[in-house]
């Protein structure tokens, strides 16, 4: 009987392999249906949208109850503050490194960028919030709206307030802990059911993208895309590998292998928030603390934008070169600071990087109309930058878990 069970387990294909197969099939199907983009958008994309909607439906409750459960298990408000502070420092440092890397590589390869005419360019920028608006929007004005809108910063604030309130109630509040844990378990199980549909979702989301953005569109901007993707890979291989190896005490190969399901899903969906449930699962399997992951990852899906920062650096150099403008050192420093600060409050959804790019271009006086040069292939950029964003979130969960774990041990000694 045991041998039969073992054979059945061996026959089961891992989720990572299922998603990879779906990814490959999606690219092949997209290339085959390249002349029928309308068909893929009308009849294939809706099934991918249904899957993404299910994922978004579960994200709000999972973040709310998993953070509350994590806070209640820590039983210490100061410890939550320590986790939050460490997380913010890590995110800001890696984002600053990412934008710097994007600017360096952009300048190195500037001579290879295509020269595209900028006459009659126009691009309508989505409204971007002021710094004070971002601060105000962190705090919810309605109990249900943050969950229904998947506003992660507001959900995190809700979870912190409710979790702290239960702790401060003392013995009376302890009666609420089993209920919070039960609700957390229910939504986690619901998430597992939804994630089983990942391969179908990946296939249906990827086919229209490949069919719509064929080789002819990508061709003219191939060098810009290549430079961005080189930066994504270098940042992941160097920065995250050093972080997880030196601080997280995990072999980088083990880290990236464990992250494969989330990486492939992020690449096909281009949604940090949508990838969150899968990212939680991957980081926990890699040994990250559940209570820390449930706090670090939702925060990262909202404010950690390493991939987006690289995209902005490369695109700023490319747009400037098309207009015949050479950016000064002080302008590049301004881009680094603007991109790092602008990452706060930017939604982890497809296309959010365009709003941030507009802010970066404005900060150094570059024409915002230049966004039209890269808008046609933004989705291709987005797939890579989202993948890097969620990998950075996971590396932070590993690093913070290791640091907080060490501090726990020191306290015990």
| pLDDT for res 98 | 92
120: left (phi over 0), alpha (psi -120 to 50) or beta: left
Digit-coded pLDDT (tens) for 278-292:
898 899 999 998 888
Confidence band, pLDDT 50/70/90 cuts, at residue 219: low
| pLDDT for res 117 | 60
The position carrying tokens 């949208």 is 49
List b or e across 207-245, with b for residues whose CB sees 16 or more CB atoms inside 10 angstroms.
bbbbbbbeeeeeeebeebbebbbbbbeebbeebbbebbb
| Selected residue with higher pLDDT from 154 and 217 | 154
User: What is the residue-averaged pLDDT of the chain?
Assistant: 82
Tokens of 274: 């949508």
| pLDDT for res 3 | 52
- CB of 121 closer than 8 Å to CB of 373: yes
Q: What angle do CA 135, 136, 141 make, to 5 degrees?
A: 140
Sign for the pseudo-dihedral over CA of 251, 253, 257, 262: positive
- CB of 330 closer than 8 Å to CB of 251: no
> Which residue spans within 344-399 are E strands per DSSP?
none
Q: Around Cβ 396, how many Cβ atoms within 10 Å?
A: 30
Torsion of CA 196, 198, 199, 202, to 10 degrees: 170
Residues 6+ apart with CB under 8 A from 57: none
| pLDDT for res 8 | 47
Nearest to 211 by CA among 41, 413, 386: 41
| pLDDT for res 165 | 93
State if pTM tops 0.85: no
pLDDT of 97 above 80 = yes
Task: Count H helices and E strands in the chain, helices first.
Answer: 22, 0
Tokens of 229: 């993707």
Phi, psi of 165 (to 5 degrees): -60, -40
CA gap 308, 171 in Å, rounded: 45
CA gap 52, 56 in Å, rounded: 6
Nearest to 302 by CA among 336, 275, 272: 272
> Which residue spans within 52-196 are E strands per DSSP?
none
CA atoms within 13 A on the CB side of 249: 8
Nearest to 307 by CA among 411, 382, 254: 382
pLDDT of 349 above 60 = no
List b or e across 9-44, with b for residues whose CB sees 16 or more CB atoms inside 10 angstroms.
eeeeeebbebbbebbeebbebbeebbeebeebeeeb
pLDDT of 193 above 80 = yes
Tokens of 44: 């294939």
CA gap 93, 371 in Å, rounded: 26
pLDDT of 217 above 70 = no
Confidence band, pLDDT 50/70/90 cuts, at residue 116: low
């Amino acid at each position: 009987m045991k041998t039969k069970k073992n054979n059945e387990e061996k026959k089961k294909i891992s989720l990572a392999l299922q998603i990879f197969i779906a990814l490959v099939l999606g690219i092949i199907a997209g290339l085959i249906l390249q002349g029928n983009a309308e068909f893929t958008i009308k009849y294939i994309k809706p099934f991918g949208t249904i899957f993404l909607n299910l994922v978004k439906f579960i994200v709000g409750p999972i973040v709310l109850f998993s953070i509350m459960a994590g806070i209640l298990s820590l039983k210490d408000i100061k410890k939550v503050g320590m986790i939050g502070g460490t997380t913010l420092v890590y995110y800001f440092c890696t984002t600053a490194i990412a934008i710097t890397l994007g600017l360096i590589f952009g300048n190195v390869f500037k001579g290879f960028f295509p020269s595209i005419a900028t006459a009659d360019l126009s691009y309508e920028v989505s409204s971007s919030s002021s710094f004070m608006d971002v601060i105000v929007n962190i705090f919810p004005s309605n109990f249900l709206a943050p969950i229904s809108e998947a506003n992660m910063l507001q959900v995190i604030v809700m979870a912190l307030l409710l979790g702290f309130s239960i702790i401060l109630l003392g013995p009376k509040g302890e009666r609420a802990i089993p209920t919070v844990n039960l609700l957390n378990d229910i939504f986690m199980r619901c998430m597992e059911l939804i994630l089983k549909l990942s391969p179908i979702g990946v296939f249906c989301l990827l086919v229209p993208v490949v069919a719509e953005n064929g080789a002819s569109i990508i061709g003219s901007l191939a060098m810009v895309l290549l430079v961005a993707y080189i930066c994504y890979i270098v940042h992941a291989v160097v920065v995250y590998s050093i972080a997880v190896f030196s601080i997280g005490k995990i072999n980088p190969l083990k880290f990236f292998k464990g992250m494969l399901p989330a990486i492939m899903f992020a690449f096909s969906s281009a949604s940090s928030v949508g990838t969150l449930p899968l990212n939680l699962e991957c980081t926990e399997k890699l040994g990250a603390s559940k209570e820390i992951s449930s706090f670090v990852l939702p925060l990262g899906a909202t404010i950690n934008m390493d991939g987006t920062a690289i995209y902005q650096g490369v695109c700023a150099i490319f747009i400037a070169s098309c207009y015949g403008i050479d950016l000064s050192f002080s302008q590049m420093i301004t881009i680094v600071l603007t991109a790092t600060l602008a990452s706060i409050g930017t939604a982890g959804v497809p296309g959010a990087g365009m709003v941030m790019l507009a802010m970066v271009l404005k900060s150094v006086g570059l024409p915002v109309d230049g966004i039209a040069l890269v808008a046609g292939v933004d989705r291709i950029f987005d797939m890579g930058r989202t993948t890097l964003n969620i990998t950075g979130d996971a590396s932070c969960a590993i690093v913070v878990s290791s640091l907080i774990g060490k501090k726990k041990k020191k306290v015990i000694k």
